[in-house]
């Protein structure tokens, strides 16, 4: 049996497929009011059910043959996604009517997708472009399957739109509301978040350097900073709105308060992170305070500072969005979420969530990229 290399995902997928076959129709038939004579039932998956079963079994079987890993991955990829696509395509018009085989087949396709990712992660290509392509493809398949399962389950089981709309509806909503979303992003992110982030992190950094230089500041400021960071944003936001008005300035103020402390604490810790021997070395060169700060202590603190910048990138977004719940001009991501929830436009809420998630990831990603470039020397970066 040297031509066979079984994998548990493929075997289980075949078992599920056979069980699905035994359990009968993928989804229940329904009465179509448009078809004559009245009362005629129309059946889902009339044309595609054999294709679904066939593709699934074929992909699972081929994947277990002794073939090159790349071929195996391609077969699994095509099989898993073809089946998922057919399943989701066929359920259109039959939402909520899915029966057990639908979910068994979905699980089987997901198992093949899993196997595909497992095979891909095992690949060790020589070419560097192939390696970087793999680094993108694997999380992409992962993310795609979250969306596929979400779409298939919400539609197959007919989950109410209010509870959880399928991603396709959210996508449509995003596509049709681009101008509104764009205006919200401009208001919330390009004004409040960016400004607050830069000022808050900058102030935290400068305060940390001062606190490090002047001992009484360190003893006095750190506890106060600690207290400020413990202030509940829900309480601070309305006060900031009263102080700085309805526009983005009050949200930026909330972001400043939220981002100040992580930067302060991390920078203070980072400035203490350089080794004794390195500091003694600078002493033997009769290096002054600023020279030691610039040439030794700040570089040594860089990993800590970037840690704070990454934490702050998410905190800033949360702070600005939540602050908009407490008064804002009629634009902004937080404003949109709070009003559209009231109007039961849940897909718009999800659209804003998706945009916020995307913006947050890009923000974080940019900071992480700069971090890699600046702290290339740190064991955690150069190791990977």
- Which residues form the interface with another protein (CB under 8 A)? 275, 277-278, 280-287, 291, 295-296, 299, 302, 375-379, 382
- Which residue lies nearer to another protein by CB, 132 or 291? 291
- Do the beta carbons of residue 109 and residue 84 sit within 8 Å? yes
- Which residue lies nearer to another protein by CB, 223 or 275? 275
As measured in angstroms, the least distance from the Cβ of 286 to another protein is 5
- Which residue lies nearer to another protein by CB, 29 or 299? 299
- Which residue lies nearer to another protein by CB, 7 or 375? 375
In degrees, rounded to 5, the angle at the alpha carbon of residue 364 between the alpha carbons of residues 358 and 369 is: 120
3-state SS, the chain, equals CCCECCCHHHHHHHHHHHHHHHHCCCECCEECCCCCCCCCEECCCCCCHHHHHHHHHHHHHHHCECCCHHHHHHHHHHHHHHHHHHHHHHHCCCCCCECHHHHHHHHHHHHHHHHHHHHHHHCCCCCHHHHHHHHHHHHHHHHHHHHHHHHHHHHHCCCCCCCCCCHHHHHHHHHHCHHHHHHHHHHHHHHHHHHHHHHHHHHHHHHHHHHHHCHHHHHHHHHHHHHHHHCCHHHHHHHHHHHHCCCHHHHHHHHHHHHHHHHHHHHHHHHCCCCHHHHHHHHHCCCCHHHHHHHHHHHHHHHHHHHHHHHHHHHHHHHHHHHHHHCCCCCCHHHHHHHHHHCCCHHHHHHHHHHHHHHHHHHHHHHHHHHHHHCCCCHHHHCC
- Which residue lies nearer to another protein by CB, 145 or 306? 306
- Which residue lies nearer to another protein by CB, 99 or 372? 372
- Which residue lies nearer to another protein by CB, 99 or 295? 295
- Which residue lies nearer to another protein by CB, 180 or 374? 374
The C-alpha atoms of residue 356 and residue 327 are separated, in whole angstroms, by 19
Bridge partner residues of 29 (DSSP): none
- Which residue lies nearer to another protein by CB, 186 or 283? 283
């Amino acid at each position: 049996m040297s031509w066979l290399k079984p994998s548990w995902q493929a075997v289980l997928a075949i078992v599920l497929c056979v069980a699905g076959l035994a359990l009968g129709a993928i989804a229940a038939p329904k009465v179509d009011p448009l078809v004559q004579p009245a009362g005629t039932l129309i059946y889902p998956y009339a044309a595609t059910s054999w294709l679904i079963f066939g593709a699934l079994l074929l992909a699972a079987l081929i994947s277990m043959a002794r073939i090159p890993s790349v071929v195996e991955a391609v077969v699994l990829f095509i099989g898993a996604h073809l089946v998922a696509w057919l399943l989701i395509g066929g359920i259109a018009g039959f939402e909520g009517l899915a029966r057990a085989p639908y979910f068994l087949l979905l699980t089987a396709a997901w198992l093949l997708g899993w196997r595909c990712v497992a095979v891909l992660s095992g690949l060790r290509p020589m070419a560097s472009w192939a390696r970087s392509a793999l680094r993108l493809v694997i999380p992409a398949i992962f993310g795609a399957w979250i969306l596929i399962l979400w779409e298939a389950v919400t539609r197959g089981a007919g989950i109410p739109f209010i509870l959880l709309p399928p991603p396709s509806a959210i996508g449509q909503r995003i596509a049709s509301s681009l101008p509104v979303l764009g205006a919200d992003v401009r208001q919330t992110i390009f004004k409040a978040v960016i400004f607050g982030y830069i000022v808050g992190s900058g102030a935290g950094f400068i305060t940390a350097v001062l606190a490090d230089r002047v001992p009484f500041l360190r003893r006095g400021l750190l506890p106060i900073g600690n207290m400020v960071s413990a202030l509940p944003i829900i309480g601070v936001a309305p006060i900031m709105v009263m102080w700085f008005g309805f526009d983005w300035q009050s949200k930026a103020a909330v972001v400043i308060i939220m981002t100040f402390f992580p930067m302060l604490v991390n920078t203070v810790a980072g400035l203490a992170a350089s080794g004794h021997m390195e500091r003694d070395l600078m002493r033997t060169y009769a290096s002054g305070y600023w020279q030691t700060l610039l040439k030794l202590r700040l570089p040594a603190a860089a990993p800590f500072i970037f840690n704070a910048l990454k934490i702050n990138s998410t905190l800033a977004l949360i702070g600005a969005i939540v602050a908009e719940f407490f008064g804002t001009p009629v634009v902004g991501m937080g404003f949109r979420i709070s009003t559209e929830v009231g109007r039961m436009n849940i897909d718009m809420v999800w659209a804003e969530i998706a945009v916020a998630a995307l913006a947050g990831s890009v923000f974080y990603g940019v900071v992480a990229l700069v971090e890699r470039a600046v702290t290339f020397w740190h064991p955690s970066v150069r190791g990977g």
